[in-house]
Amino acid sequence: MAVTQQIVRLTEAELEACSNSEAELNRLIGYELRCKTDHLDLNWAPRVLEHYLEASHQLPEAKLALFLACNGARLVNTNCRRGPGSDWVYSDVTCLSKEEVARVASGFQTIAWEELTGWLPTDRQKACDAVKMQLDHHPDAVFPDHMRALAAFYDEAARAGLCTAMWWD
């Protein structure tokens, strides 16, 4: 099974419960705490998205937004960094407050979408070499959509006043 980036939108109360309870944290990483639409599976895209933002000369606000969106700012539960012992994940389980989520959403609004693509060679193999990944398709067929999905996910979270939690699973 592949290790993939997971991000979940949740309320402040739910985040607080996860920070104080192994059982609630287990529900979070077990995909039981929130409905499916509050989950985003970014697959293995974050590192390539960083490359896209850098190569397309995006503003520092967008780059910081991506970093925070995927890495969080603090641990959800300091007693269970990677989840309860019975169900560990492949990274720390981290989070952003609703204020930080709003900052991320604002940072994503600075992305010059028309600049995000077009810097890669049109040849699939050369483009894959440029992003240091072997794919069956051109990277532009996937990664700009991942970036748009991530920006929309955080925009919805910010408008709803939600926090986020993230980890690799």
Neighbouring C-alpha atoms within 13 Å toward the C-beta of 11:
7
Distance (Å, rounded) from C-alpha 127 to C-alpha 133?
9
Amino acid letter for position 145: D
State the pTM of this model: 0.92
The stretches in the chain having pLDDT less than 70 are 1-2, 86-87
Q: Which helix (H) or strand (E) holds 50?
A: helix 46-55
Number of other CB atoms surrounding residue 7 within 10 Å: 22
CA 72 from chain centre, in angstroms, equals 9
Model confidence over 54-102: pLDDT tens digits?
Answer: 999 999 999 999 999 999 999 999 998 877 776 678 889 999 999 999 9
Directed axis angle between helix 98-108 and helix 60-71, to 10°? 140
Residue 2: what pLDDT?
60
pLDDT given for residue 1 in this prediction: 46
Domains (ranges, CATH) in the chain?
5-168 (3.40.1760.10)
- The pLDDT assigned to 108 comes to 98
Task: Give pLDDT, residue 86.
Answer: 61
| Three-class SS state of 40 | strand
